[in-house]
Amino acid sequence: MAGEKDVLILAIESSCDETAAAVVKNGREVLSNVISSQIELHKLYGGVVPEIASRKHIEKINQVIEQALTDANVTLDDLDAVGVTYGPGLVGALLVGVAEAKAIAYAKQLPLVGVHHIEGHISANYIENKELEPPFLCLVVSGGHTHLVCVKDYGTYEVIGRTRDDAAGEAFDKVARAIGLGYPGGPKIDKLSKEGNPDAIVFPKAHIEDAPYDFSFSGVKSSVLNYINGCKMKGETYSQADIAASFQKAVVDVLVGNAMRAAKEYGFSKLAIAGGVASNSGLRAAMQEACVANQIAFYHPSPVFCTDNAAMIGVAAYYEYLNGTRHGWDLNAAANLKLGER
């Protein structure tokens, strides 16, 4: 915007197993996006070990921030605010990012803007879809969350559906482990399912009677485990690829079905997806097809902005900054922070 001063935000994300920092200009332009992943470290244990995650964050965070500033060709003196994920997530992991953000903001006397991790995932959609503005419906599918969210305005959300048990990504990870694919399972199931038959095995699709937009993935997960045990007991071999493809189809059908019903019921003409599972090729294809059939505009971030990153936190922080959100020097990590809470 001519004549108006640019707003540069340094954003920090450390809620799970990625140490990430980014510089975002005016909410939609990503000047840098540095991610140090700990996946190799946690693979040994088949999942994220919280204590190890915290220790790795503290080791990496300064280098990651330095790199983000260098890549963006800015210094701390150019910044207008510091944004940071303060929940939900692993408390020890969150504390590293929160303490770091507070130290930088305090030293440079900059506004401190705490961001909800899911608000970050949703906001990832603004990066590459410059025309996207609220209101829209967003399906957030990550390793820790499965939410259907009405994005009413920037910073104003209503959660209309959520998982009753496992998150979608968690189900992918658990099934991958059961069929011997290792951690993290989502991308591996996605890849293998391309070689399998999605109609080979019928896995259950849970619908919750009194809550049409809620999800449940523990049933499909148990059903996969039972199927494998059944094959083993009968001395039969099973096809990893068919299990992967059939399981992915069962999950995707429910995600798309609930999202479409909600979009129609609430009258949304725009639908976005977000979170690690939003990079799933089966989900993207099925959602795209359903949106075309229902004349709904479909938005999704590139895979790098689907999984945890700090650019999405910088975007969310920008809109919170414009809305006047400022956190004090007493900002703490909030492991169970609810979307919409301050």
Nearer Cβ to ligand KG4, position 111 or 169?
169
Nearer Cβ to ligand KG4, position 191 or 264?
191
Q: Which does 280 bind (CB under 5 to 8 A by kind): ligand KG4, Zn ion, none?
A: ligand KG4
Select from 93-101, 168-176, 215-223, 316-324 the region that touches ligand KG4 (CB under 6 A): 168-176
CA distance 53 to 85: 15
Q: Tell which one of 92, 276, 301, 314 touches ligand KG4 (CB under 6 A).
A: 276
Q: Which does 33 bind (CB under 5 to 8 A by kind): Zn ion, ligand KG4, none?
A: none
Segment 108 to 147, residues that bind ligand KG4, using CB under 6 A: 142-144
Interface contacts to Zn ion, rule CB under 5 A: 142, 308
Q: Which does 173 bind (CB under 5 to 8 A by kind): ligand KG4, Zn ion, none?
A: ligand KG4
What token pair was written down for 154? Answer: 């920037």
What token pair was written down for 196? Answer: 């399998």
Q: Tell which one of 14, 36, 280, 325 touches ligand KG4 (CB under 6 A).
A: 280
Q: Exposure string (b/e) for 60-92, b if CB count within 10 Å is 16 or more?
A: bbeebbeebbebbebeeeebbbbbbbbbbbbbb
Check if the beta carbon of residue 23 is closer than 8 Å to that of residue 72: yes
Q: Tell which one of 123, 146, 307, 325 touches ligand KG4 (CB under 6 A).
A: 307
CA of 129: how far to CAs of 25, 28, 154, 270, in Å? 15, 9, 15, 12
Q: Does 166 contact ligand KG4 by CB under 6 A?
A: no
Check if the beta carbon of residue 275 is closer than 8 Å to that of residue 169: yes
Q: Does 92 contact ligand KG4 by CB under 6 A?
A: no
Q: Does 186 contact ligand KG4 by CB under 6 A?
A: yes
Check if the beta carbon of residue 9 is closer than 8 Å to that of residue 82: yes
Nearer Cβ to Zn ion, position 35 or 181?
35
CA of 108: how far to CAs of 77, 82, 99, 328, in Å? 7, 10, 14, 14
How far apart are CB 128 and ligand KG4 at their closest, in Å? 17
CA distance 306 to 250: 21
Q: Dihedral angle at the C-alpha atoms of 110, 72, 122, 293, nearest 10 degrees?
A: 150
User: Where do contacts with ligand KG4 occur on this chain (CB under 6 A)?
Assistant: 16, 142-144, 169, 172-173, 184-187, 190, 275-277, 279-280, 307-308
